[in-house]
Chains A and B, each alone.
Chain A
Amino acid sequence: MFDQKSILISLTIFIIISFSFLAILEKKQHQIKDNWFLYFENIEDASPNFTIENYSKTGNFTWEIFINDSKVKEDSAQVLNNNKKNVSIDKPLGVKSIKIVVSYSKDKKEIYKNLE
């Protein structure tokens, strides 16, 4: 039965190589690329603290904060690739709405909370 054993051995080798290749390929595909995310640190309360999570090139992110539709602060932060930056802002009183607008390169994202 050497013929059948050699078939089985060959099949085993093919399966191991194929599966290893596909597994490594799939692992590589788990890396987020050319993307960045903007979200509030706490989605439940009225806190304006937010986070920029960057998976594109290291760069400067410019952010603006609007409280009740008026711009109250503007700044920038360097966020490295595969890194995140938490921005903490003092919670103002009498807030009806909070809007965060972040710009990076030609891309702009915004998040907001309508509190009333």
Chain B
Amino acid sequence: MSYVYKAAALSEGGDPLTELCQTFDMLHGIAKKNGGTVETHDIPKIILAIQYWLKNNRTDIPMSVTDMSFKLYTIPTRDDGTLPLQLFGRPLNFKWFREHEVPWLICHGERDDLVERRVALAPTKWLDGFVEVTPFPKGHVAIATSWSVPGSKCPLDGEFTIDGRTYRGPVKFHLDLPAHTSASASVYGAHLRRTKECLISYLSRSGIIFFKIISPILFLNSQIASLYNSILCYYINSFNITVCLHFMSIFNELLLFFSSIIFLLFLPGYFLLLAIFRKKINQKFSPIEIAVIAFATSLITFDFLFIIFGKIGFNINRNSILAIISFFILACYGIYKLKAKKETASDTVPKKNNSKLEFNKIQTILIILILFLTIFLKTSYLANSIFPTSTDLGHHMYWSKLVAETGQLPHYQKNEIIQTADIYQLKTNPIADFIIGEHLIFSGINLLSKISFISYFPALTLFLINIFGILAMFILSLRIFDLNFRDNTLNKKIFNPANLAILTLFLIGPFYAITSPQAKFISGGVIGNLIGNLLIPLCLYFYFRAIKEKDSWMLFLAIFLSAGLFYTHHLSGFIFIFILIFIILIFNFLFILKNIQTNTSSKIRNILSNYKNLAKDFFHLFFSPPIITLLIFALLFLFFVYTPSYIVTDAKTTVVGAPSKSTRAGLTLEQFKYAVGEMRLAFGIVGFFIISGLIFIKKKLSIEKNIIYTRLLMPSLLFGWALALFMMTTKPQWMRINIPSDRVANYANFPFIILAATGILYLLFILKELKNNFIISKKIQYFLFLLFFSTIIFMGYYDNSSSLSQGQKNQKALQTFHASEFLANQIKSHENLYSANIIKDHNYISADSWMKLFFMTDYNYPLSRGYFKRYEDITKPREMCTLWMISEPSSQRAQNCFSSTNTKYIIVDTSVDGPQFKASSNFSKIYEGNSLSIFSKNNR
């Protein structure tokens, strides 16, 4: 190839004689500058270096590269932009740059006679308007020689102007690239897969890092991450390096996120279970149960640990989180080891789990398929709503960010405009609706992983909570049916705990996967409700097992999680109290009925005798050392360490009492049916009758003198749970509940799901019995089965389809974030603006509740013009300043509000609310985007 270039150069003044003359010219020029002499040190080093390289250091390049060069030199690019060579077996096309939005700058020499201008700019034929071009004066090597000198006329790391146009150098181009390019990571991932050796190398290093992360002392930091980035990028073509860095950035972030999840939401709970149950853990719990319980107990443990240490005065930061959680894990492990040693060899620890929570192959496959479908459906929905825009989530993340930034537990309060006659002023008032358990875990994940709050991680954390909430229902139904259906009650092949639990999973997972309280609550940021949906079934699970197995440690965990529920979501806690009350009432009712059913002469004496046995068992259970210790600790914690905000602000007076609005007066049966799901309600009623029949029709039990009350636990739990929510939803006035009825109805799904599973399974049992008794043929059995399930699937998925979101709202939200960031930076750079207030509109601005995260001044900063109907609500009168300041900014009352509240900046939708500001000379417009504008009030 070099001979080709030499031959080409000969025709263009590259012959040896011409070159000799050019060298003499250069030396003559240097001599002229230096008074007629030329010393070695006078000759620019770069010229000497190039000459030396040309003569001594040029070597043959590899054949494959020569071949590549030859092809590019001799074979033209095709009309469709495809180059005449391939890389890694794949064709190359110039259009790829535009398709994958890879930024490209072409630098060429204007008088380059080796790579002529038209050759250098050949790609612009397919990338016109996309690729950036920078022409450097002079020839082929000038970029490397004249212009590479810092401060030159055409700097590589700056901009320069030629003929009135501004151009960027290649270094400036790279420096100007944003932190995240828009290149598709999946495209780059395709290249990555082909580089086997670096992938294996990276995975092996990642594996080592992953296990180091498990050890709480060592933790991945950004230095290690960047080291692996550079090792991997070394193997990759340099023109892909920005894509490489972008992909590795996401990968490292995800690694940190998953590591944080494991460290905060699995390890503490798992080691707590180890400390409590020691070697019996595998006897007491199956692997799925351990996973679900570890998750929930980790969440509550984390909250309580941080409330305690936050109150003591520890600063909540990354190091303190690592230290405290590590200490807790080590302490639990120490207790486990200590107590494990004390267990003598004679202690019988059964090797096998005797709870019969085993699945056959078909059941295992079914469960995996159901979980896959569940996660797939929710992922499909969240794909359009993963970008943070939700109002509720924005509100919650403010508090989480406040904890992360200040390192202190939050004081739930906000500045509000208080109106007294014609005087308006800002006053700080406490907020009852936020509870600390909703926020700490997000602060923890942010502090460990350093992922921004305005990202995917809050929604993904809620997604994880939702998945484990579904699994909590799964393990609850496994356990509660264990007792009643173990004894060949019906056909054991169909009616067994495993099948009932699988059907429960089927009804709660893929069906109604999107509508509230499922995926919609995830994207909507309804944190407290989602955690409540995880904790309520688990609390019931532990209460059930505590009474059935007479295990005080199960009761310990039940009370522990119940306490956690009250520190997380007051509505869920309030509803849980009613659920427990109804369960106790139903249990007593069934207990008395069963006693009446027995064949004894003195029923009353029998009832009293059985109650006495019951009381004895309960006494031993509740007055055991672990329970008494826990209750004392809980009371001390409640009164002396941290009292939930809703108790302090006396919020109970707003939820107890006659319904104050029509939305709190209860749902009709029709509305209740749609809230629960028609199919679930219908089969739930069938399930109710099935279970009732199993309790009362069985002749064997009716002759027992001593009622086995544990057999009544399951029906009491399900009936009490369902009835409590039915009454709270449809007849709240009977129980003096003043809560929006549709919110309460979201909780009603759960008991009816388990009841519906029973109903559906019984109908399948009926079908099988009809076939076995030759009443219907096998074909008809299958047909009816298919018809039956098609109906169920249609109804469940119809709801899913009607709940799909409209599409992405990220561009509007990005505009909101951009405006907020601009104003926040301006305020921070002007000390006299620190006290200035801002007002924004909630009706027309997308993701407006996230604005406060850019300022972190107050929960109510910026002030907000809320929904218009709220200003007309006579049951809840509110200040009008926020309405006037945007709707009629020039009015006298609005001007009073501006001056009283020191509001200086207004963020509004330009087309909707811009005109009223533009019409007034009292306001300046200091910022405009595609849809938002920022106005400032002049100081007059």
Contact = CB atoms under 8 A, between A and B. Distances in A.
Q: Do A and B interact with each other, yes or no?
A: yes
Interface string B220-261: 000000000000000000000000000000100110011000
Nearest to A21: B379
A6 interface: yes
Given A14-B375, A27-B250, A3 B364 contact: yes
Contact of A25 (B288, B386, B811, B922): B386
Given A4-B288, A38-B927, A111-B926, A27 B180 contact: yes
A97 B201 CA distance: 63
A3 B254 contact: no
A82 B130 CA distance: 12
Interface in B790-844: 808, 810-811, 814-815, 818, 822, 826, 830, 832-833
B936 interface: yes
Interface in B254-299: 254, 257-258, 282, 286-288, 291
A111 B925 contact: yes
A91 interface: no
A44 B372 contact: no
B368 A29 contact: no
Interface string A77-110: 1101111000000000000000000000000011
A4 B375 contact: no
Given A20-B254, A24-B185, A28-B182, A39 B928 contact: yes
Contact of B926 (A10, A34, A40): A40
Contacts of A4: 286-288, 357-359
A109 B180 contact: no
Contacts of B833: 44
B858 interface: no
B258 to A, nearest CB: 7
Interface in B645-671: none
Given A7-B364, A14-B375, A31-B182, A23 B922 contact: no
A79 to B, nearest CB: 10
A50 to B, nearest CB: 10
Interface residues of B, number: 75
Interface in A50-100: 57-58, 77-78, 80-83
A38 B71 CA distance: 48
Interface in B149-168: 165-166, 168
Contact of B288 (A7, A14, A112): A7
A37 to B, nearest CB: 5
Interface in B888-940: 921-930, 934, 936, 938
A31 B386 CA distance: 14
In the complex, which range does the number of interface residues on chain A fall in? Answer: 35 or more
A53 to B, nearest CB: 8
Most chain B CB atoms below 10 A, which of A21, A26, A110:
A26
A32 B814 contact: yes
Nearest to B291: A8
Contacts of B360: 3
Contact of B826 (A1, A43, A81, A109): A43
A11 B811 CA distance: 33
Interface in B340-387: 353, 357-361, 363-364, 367-368, 371-372, 375-376, 378-379, 382-383, 386-387
Contacts of A26: 386-387, 455-456
Nearest to A16: B258
A4 B363 CA distance: 10
B931 to A, nearest CB: 9
Interface in B93-134: 103, 129, 132
A64 to B, nearest CB: 15
B928 A24 contact: no
B464 interface: yes
Nearest to A11: B371
Contacts of A16: 258
Contacts of A111: 924-928
Interface of B: 103, 129, 132, 165-166, 168, 176-178, 180, 182, 184-186, 250, 253-254, 257-258, 282, 286-288, 291, 353, 357-361, 363-364, 367-368, 371-372, 375-376, 378-379, 382-383, 386-387, 455-456, 459-460, 463-464, 467, 808, 810-811, 814-815, 818, 822, 826, 830, 832-833, 921-930, 934, 936, 938
21 contacts: A3-B359, A6-B364, A18-B376, A18-B379, A18-B463, A27-B250, A28-B184, A29-B387, A29-B808, A29-B810, A30-B387, A32-B811, A37-B927, A38-B928, A39-B822, A44-B830, A80-B168, A81-B103, A110-B928, A111-B928, A114-B924
Q: Which 8 A-B pairs have the closest CB atoms?
A: A26-B456, A39-B927, A29-B810, A4-B287, A3-B364, A113-B924, A18-B379, A109-B928
